[in-house]
Amino acid sequence: MPNSSLDRILFGEHKKPLSWKERFNIILGTARGLAYLHDKFHVCIIHRDIKSSNILLDHNFQAKIADFGLARLLPNDKSHVSTKFAGTLGYTAPEYASQGQLTKKADTYSFGVVVLEILSGRKSIDLNQPPHMQYLLEWVWSLYEENKVLELVESEEMEGYSEEEVVKVLNLALQCIQGSATNRPSMSEAVTILLSDAEIDFRKPLQPPFIDMGYQAVRPTP
C-alpha cells in the first residue's frame, strides 16, 4: 500500500505526523471494515489479530484491514467459539487470552487498543518507556482515574483536532476495552457513535481486568 501500515506511520521507520482528520478517518475506516466482517458479510468473520501492523493505508490514508491468517468463522447459531489462543499480546481480549472464548467482541477489544495507539502515538507495549507508561492500557486507566486522560493525546502532532471529538473517541475506546465482552459495543454501534453529531451518553467504564486479574501473566517477558 502507498502509505505502508499504520504501525510504521505511528511509530516505525515511516513515522510522520498525522492530522486529526487522518487519524479519525483511519479509526472510522477500521471500524467500518470490522462491522462489515461481523455483520454485513454473508457469514460472520472474526479477524482475531487486529493490530496496527495489520491496518494498511492507501494514498489517502484510508484504512484497509489485512492479514486474515488467523480469522475464524462464527456460525450463525453460535454466540462464540472456543479455540486455542492465537493473536498478538497487548491487543487480545482477556476472556479470549485466558479462556479461549472467542466472540466478535474480541475484535472490538483489539480495535479499542488500536484507537488508543492512534490517539497517543504510543505502542500497546513499549518497554522503552518509563515503567508507568510501558503498558498503554494501564497508563490510560491511571490517567482516566486522575481525570487527566487527554494527556495521552499526541496533540502537538495532531493538526486540526477538536477536543470534543477526541473526547468522544477516547470514551469509545474505553468502552471497547471493557473486561466484560457484554459491556463492549458492537462494531456497528461503534461506527454509529463515530458518525453521530449528537452528544453520546457513555456508560461509566469499569476498571479493566488487566490490572485486577493477573493480566501480567500474558505479557511478554521483557
The catalytic position among 7, 39, 49, 77 is 49
Report DSSP letters for 29-88, one per residue: HHHHHHHIIIIISSSEEE-S---GGGEEE-TT--EEE---TT-EEE-TT-S-EE----S-
149 CB-near residues (< 8 Å, 6+ apart): 140, 143, 170
Question: How many Cβ atoms sit within 10 Å of the Cβ of residue 180?
Answer: 12
Burial class (CB in 10 A: 0-12, 13-18, 19+), 185: buried
CB 178, CB 205: distance < 8 Å: yes
- Is position 7 annotated as part of the catalytic site? no
DSSP-derived 3-state class of residue 125: strand
CA distance 17 to 118: 11
Q: Nearest to residue 88, comparing CAs of 62, 114, 63?
A: 114
CA distance 28 to 191: 7
Kindly state the cell numbers that stand for 133.
507508561
Element (H, E) at 20: helix 20-35
CA distance 143 to 89: 22
Residues annotated as part of the active site: 49
